[in-house]
Amino acid sequence: MDVLLQVGWFGGWVLGIIGFFLAHSAWSELRHLRGQLIRQNFSQPQPAAAELASSEQAIAVPDSVPVVQVEPPPLPAPEPVAGIPEPVVASVASPPPPPRDLEALLTTRLGVWVGSAALLLAGVFLVRYAVEQALLGPAARCVAAALLGLILLAAAEWLHRHEGPPLVGPFRVDQAPSALAAGGTAFLFGAAYGAGPLYGLLPPLIAFGAMAAASLTALAAALRYGPLTAATGIAGAFITPALVASQAPSLPGLFAYLFVVSAAALLVVRHTAWTWLGWATTAAGAIWVCVAAIPDAPDRWAAAAFVAAAAALNLALLPAAALDHPVGRRLAWVPFAVMGVAGLVLESWAPGMAPRLALFLLSPIAVWKGVIEPRLDRLPWIAALFGLLTLLCWALPAWTPTGEIITVEGVVEAILPGAWAPEVIRPLITAAALLAAFHAGAGLWLERRAPAPVRWAALPAAVPVLTLAVAYAQIARFQGDPAWAAIALTLTAGLTATAAAAVRDDDRQRAGVHAAGAVAALALGCAMLLHDYWLTLAVALFLPALAWIEARAELPALRTVALVVAGLVIVRLVLNWYVLDYVFGTMPLANGLVVAYAAPSAAFALASVLFRRRGDDLPVAVLEAGAVIFMALFVALEIRHYSGDGQLADPFSFTEVALHLLTIAIQATAYLYLAQRTSRPVLFAAWQILGGIGLIYAAVLLVANPMFTGAAAGVFALVAAYLAPALLAVLACRLLPDGQPRRGLGAYAVVAGFAWVTLQIRQCFHPDGMELLTVPVEDAELWAWSGGWLAYGIGLMVMGIRSGQRLLRLAALGVIGLVCAKVFLVDMGDLTGLWRVLSFLGLGLALIGLGAAYRRFVLPAKSDGVA
């Protein structure tokens, strides 16, 4: 089964290489054909006008067309003869594309490639069979492999020198020499590896030289025979250690061999610009590093050393021409990052000092490359990221603080100081200090000398602060500690001094970067002392200071920093379910919610105004959205706090829901007004979202009203739930243009006003309980409903007549029609005596008066075309 898996792995690799070369070869042949056509077109002789005139196909001059005689200039030039056309460049028809020859494709391409792979596997399995059957000794196996490799290379050279007749078309290049050379280089790699690390037949130095010689042979063969040789040779070189078993595997020897192979492949890439070979080499090396992380593997330090060495090798052999193209500059860091990820995998699966040291060594390697190649000065940031992730993945054993605790009857009275730190956390502290000091020193040294000083100045401003935050999280576990806060304060002072030095150098951008770092360190120190919502406030207050620094120092990069900080604050305050467990106090309004939400909302709003002075972009929109969200949450939580006497998890009441609806409606209307005044997209979105939430609340309250649920509701609760939102909806309708939203809000206002009239009459008669099923309706109440509805309908009609709104008049007629139906269907049977008389009398007078008013005010306006 293992053999099948290995063969499948190798087959997938070979098929991928074959697919790449099929595409590459097709593109090369297309360019060759285009060049031939262009050369043929320009090489055709062009006929002269005299030849055309004297030829049998020449066009005769018509008699009716006179020949105009022109005095020749000092240097005469022949004039064209009338009737004879100008010379025309002969066009050569493009030859039709040759038909696809499936037979040639299968024999000269795919067959050769598969044969090359078969040769490689045959040699590997022959050696394996000899090992299993004890047919040959180790030395004989290595010599046989080397001889077979040399024979294949010799055969490739012979075929290369004795190629057949030249061909034209897609099969003009003979692939057989390339395939044989590929197999030969793979056997040489295997022989060198077997004689050295596998069997120990050669001393380490000589074995290393043998592997280097095999690598140089592969390099020379690839340069002479083409990319197939390089692909197959490199594939065989990386797969050979996996297919050849060893009783005592040596990781140092394996990774020394892989380093030499990688160097050979990257030299080929540097000479030929075969970028795919560099990607494959880097990926294969990273895979071997991950394989070395298997538990119980000895000498894993070799894999860690390979991480740093391979990263440095990729950067050292990176062609400068690759950085001349924007794509090359964007992708130049990828091999470096791939090796860093492999090192993190090694640290995660097999933690130890070796992988940590390798990951920390990426920082000086990146700084070195950034110094000699300014176009790669972002590499130190990638290296710093890997260093921070290494600190974050550092597994600390259980430990207790040093010092002796003095207790009296179970009460801690004093703590005697001990060592400055327990022994188990000292390596982490030392590593964090060295990482921060190196990046700070490198940045401070190079910010005065590098072509892009701001990028280097950001290293001492950001990396020490982030390192302190990671170390604090690892050791203190986010618990308040004045000692850590003192370190943050010291870092703040240092960054303030560097900012002052940049100001003396008259470099505003460097000063701004260091000042931003000082503010971040100060915010981190506050976070080390504060808890719960105080921590969020400290981070939110960082934003206005950052906006001020960005404006003074003209540093657009700080806008991205502000965007990240704003996102963290929004996530912490919006998606943090533990907020319900915070202790905000019991005092209404003036409680911890002001600090937790109102103050961050003001900080976000101020920061958005400061940032908008220099540009209206995504950070400004996020800050405005955060201010809106925090204010809405502040109002909602204040209502929740007031209704629950300081407890945020108590059940909801009808009055509380009514207050939520009222405040949401007020905010939505206010944002609509501000959006129309300022044209801010965030405010438009805010009123739409809050308005939609308010309509959902309103629909729930219209259905689940106190008459159906029996909930306790006073006059204020009914006004907050129905009348006030209806009036705000009317105000919003006045602000909106004609359309569906306006009509929807108008319809809600009419329904909510009708509900308020009905429920308020019910509350006046039954203040202690309004449920219809348990409290019967009295005659006076029934008549009051008719009177109240009729007055409401008349009021709507008056407003409709005054405003000329036909829809409002129709709504009034609907309410009055409902009153008519109630009077004739309900009041006629349920009311008795004077109440029934008053009901019909009032309805009749109202209808007659309505008809007169309609004829007096509405019909004349319609006849004039006003309404």
The pLDDT, as a whole number, for residue 245 is 55
First to last CA, the chain: 89
Of 15-19, 97-101, 170-174, give the lowest mean pLDDT range.
15-19
193: part of which helix (H) or strand (E)? helix 176-193
* CA–CA gap between residue 698 and residue 752 (Å, rounded): 8
User: Is the distance from CB of 145 to CB of 152 less than 8 angstroms?
Assistant: no
The percentage of residues in the chain with a pLDDT greater than 70, rounded to a whole number, is: 70
585: part of which helix (H) or strand (E)? none
Residue with tokens 């909602």: 636
* CA–CA gap between residue 690 and residue 686 (Å, rounded): 6
CA 387-391-392 angle, to 5 degrees, is: 115
- Predicted confidence (pLDDT) per residue in 561-578, tens digit: 889 888 888 888 887 777
The percentage of residues in the chain with a pLDDT greater than 90, rounded to a whole number, is: 24
DSSP assignment letter at 108: I
pLDDT at 185 over 90: no
- Predicted confidence (pLDDT) per residue in 191-214, tens digit: 887 787 777 788 876 876 777 677
Q: Which of 703, 709, 638, 705 is nearest to 667 (CA)?
A: 638
User: Is the distance from CB of 707 to CB of 765 less than 8 angstroms?
Assistant: no
The pLDDT, as a whole number, for residue 587 is 78
Provide CB contacts within 8 A for 415, sequence distance 6+: 403, 404, 405, 406
* CA–CA gap between residue 140 and residue 147 (Å, rounded): 10
The pLDDT, as a whole number, for residue 365 is 95
* CA–CA gap between residue 59 and residue 53 (Å, rounded): 7
Question: What's 327-341 look like in SS3?
Answer: HHHHHCCHHHHHHHH
* CA–CA gap between residue 712 and residue 706 (Å, rounded): 7
The pLDDT, as a whole number, for residue 4 is 33
- Using 50, 70 and 90 to split pLDDT, how confident is the model at 85? very low
pLDDT at 307 over 90: yes
For residue 422, count other CB atoms closer than 10 A to its CB. 16
* CA–CA gap between residue 185 and residue 284 (Å, rounded): 18
* CA–CA gap between residue 643 and residue 637 (Å, rounded): 10
Q: Which tokens is 39 given? A: 């050369």
The pLDDT, as a whole number, for residue 37 is 58
Give one DSSP letter per residue of 608-673, joined into a string: HHHHHTT--SHHHHHHHHHHHHHHHHHHHHHHHHHHTTT-TTSPP-HHHHHHHHHHHHHHHHHHHH
- Predicted confidence (pLDDT) per residue in 765-791, tens digit: 888 888 877 777 776 777 777 778 878
The pLDDT, as a whole number, for residue 305 is 93
User: Is the distance from CB of 783 to CB of 768 less than 8 angstroms?
Assistant: no
For residue 356, count other CB atoms closer than 10 A to its CB. 22
Helices (H) and strands (E) in the chain, counts: 36, 2
* CA–CA gap between residue 659 and residue 642 (Å, rounded): 11
For residue 82, count other CB atoms closer than 10 A to its CB. 11
Mean pLDDT on 137-151: 82
Provide CB contacts within 8 A for 451, sequence distance 6+: 374
* pTM exceeds cut of 0.85: no
- Predicted confidence (pLDDT) per residue in 338-389, tens digit: 999 999 999 988 888 999 999 999 999 999 999 998 888 889 999 999 999 9
Distance set, CA 307 to CA 106, 240, 289 (Å): 41, 20, 8
The pLDDT, as a whole number, for residue 15 is 38
Distance set, CA 159 to CA 94, 156, 174, 359, 410 (Å): 34, 5, 9, 48, 92
* CA–CA gap between residue 574 and residue 596 (Å, rounded): 11
* CA–CA gap between residue 265 and residue 218 (Å, rounded): 8
pLDDT at 64 over 70: no
Provide CB contacts within 8 A for 376, sequence distance 6+: 315, 323, 329, 332, 333, 369, 370
Q: Which tokens is 593 given? A: 């919610």
Give 100-106's long-range contacts (Cβ < 8 A, gap of 24+): 101/171, 104/171, 105/171
Of 69-78, 232-241, 462-471, give the lowest mean pLDDT range.
69-78
Q: Which tokens is 580 given? A: 């319900």
Question: What's 133-144 look like in SS3?
Answer: HCCCCHHHHHHH
Burial of 734 per CB tally in 10 Å (0-12, 13-18, 19+): exposed
pLDDT at 723 over 60: yes
